[in-house]
Amino acid sequence: MALTTIDNFINNEFVKPTEGAYFDTFNPAHGVPHGQIPDSTKPDVDLAYKAASTAFTTWSKTTKAERSRILYKIADLIDARQDEFVRAESKDQGKPISLAKSVDIPRAAYNFRFFAGKILHSVEEAAELEGVGFNYSQRMPIGVAGLISPWNLPLYLLTWKIAPCIACGNTAICKPSEFTSLTAYMLCSVLKDAGLPAGVVNMVFGTGMKAGQALVEHPRIPLISFTGGTVTGAKIIANSAPYFKKLSLELGGKNANIVFADCDFEKALTTSLRSSFANQGEICLCGSRIFVERPIYEKFLNGLVEGAKKLKVGDPSAPDTNLGALVSKEHWEKVMSYIDLGVKEGGKIECGGQKPVSLQGEFQNGYFLEPTIISGLTPSCRVMREEIFGPVVTIYAFDTEEEVIQITNDSEYGLSCSIWTENGRRARRVAGEIQAGTVWVNTWMARDLRMPFGGMKKSGLGREGGEHSLDFYTELKTICLAD
């Protein structure tokens, strides 16, 4: 099988890494290499910075209307190539093709459309200072932004960064995940075809240890947006601190899914299956800690197990596949180690816990795992406290509202939470007490791009979305005009 070779994209041209080194990227479903990625280093980041800083002098002065026009054109071109992007995203990340088609690629296009419109309708503050003068605020683009995106929703989350960044007049150097670089590479030609000027968006592919660290430590890059793990987020804070960079970090989660006895049972059960195992559990917002009020615990557990056993694990390109492959062998091994740990900690594997034996032939070396439910653990167990990021959930019976709030908040993380109850007062009361950046009541993954998104505690720093994205990608200054 011929390998697809990816090159860096700098100043609207595809260029080889300065040191000429590449490494393999794997097809998760087959467990074999299917591409080669540049092993970029600091000189590559320096080249990208030169292109981006030069482009900034003109792009920052381009009218909002012109920037908006180009963003709309980018969205249209993604739509025109949707099937190609869908196939590539599924092959590269291991996700079911149905998910890439219904969520990832449409959302990538929508990110550009949303911010193309948003910049045309934002307003600033103005106030009269009586007897002195008149004050008004003005947003200014910051400069060259470093955008580091993860492997679980590759194009979806990369465009979530690029779109507001360039809409506000900044230029960008992007470092996609080394595990899932294919659709970012494909996006480069879309940007060029849409008429985006040279140097406005640059892609430097490679590892976090080399390319990512060079980006974070570059003394002239004032802003870093990162989505990924908490450990890496801590390193970014430390490495960027000497330069006082502006940071937005969307990090890990160990999200609670709280099911009260008065819930709409079927809706709670159906959605909990999705929030547990969508994208193989490789979504930072998945509800991996399921807390069920004791009167319905056994019924809910039985229903969850029954539903999980019906989910199809296999060929990501098959339209009826529910769970594809985990992103890498290393990640598969990590997830399996947590399942083993759950047993050692006293847990019971209610279902799953192993690779499907039915997968043979071209898929026998793929990184597949059955949806796994573990019961019998206490809230202090590591499996109930540490982020696993795979198709593994724990389930626990609680007795009181106060108890479940305490257990939910006794976590290093605070990204999201779902609450299931038909009692409106309880819903408002519990939602108000939960320490998480997003709380869903009787739903999951209902994202509104106008609203702030981000985490509390070790789940991140800052907020993006709507005005919050404009705040992050600009500097706000006050201008005073004397009478």
Active-site residue, 128 included? no
Number of C-beta neighbours around residue 118 at 10 A: 22
Q: Which residues contact 291 (CB under 8 A, 6 or more apart)?
A: 256, 257, 258, 259, 395, 396, 397, 398, 404, 407, 408
DSSP tag of 319:
T
DSSP tag of 2:
P
Q: Is the dihedral of CA 297, 303, 309, 314 positive or negative?
A: negative
Separation CA 416–CA 395 (nearest Å): 17
When computed from its CA atoms, the radius of gyration of the chain, rounded to whole angstroms, is 23
* Structure-block tokens of residue 376: 């019998």
What's the distance, CA 17 to chain centroid? 26
Place of tokens 């430590």: 217
Separation CA 25–CA 185 (nearest Å): 13
| Length, in residues, of the chain | 483
Amino acid 82 reads Q
Place of tokens 């791009």: 449
Please tell me which residue in 250, 282, 350, 464 is annotated as part of the active site. Answer: 250
DSSP element (H, E) containing 44: helix 42-59
Catalytic center residues: 250
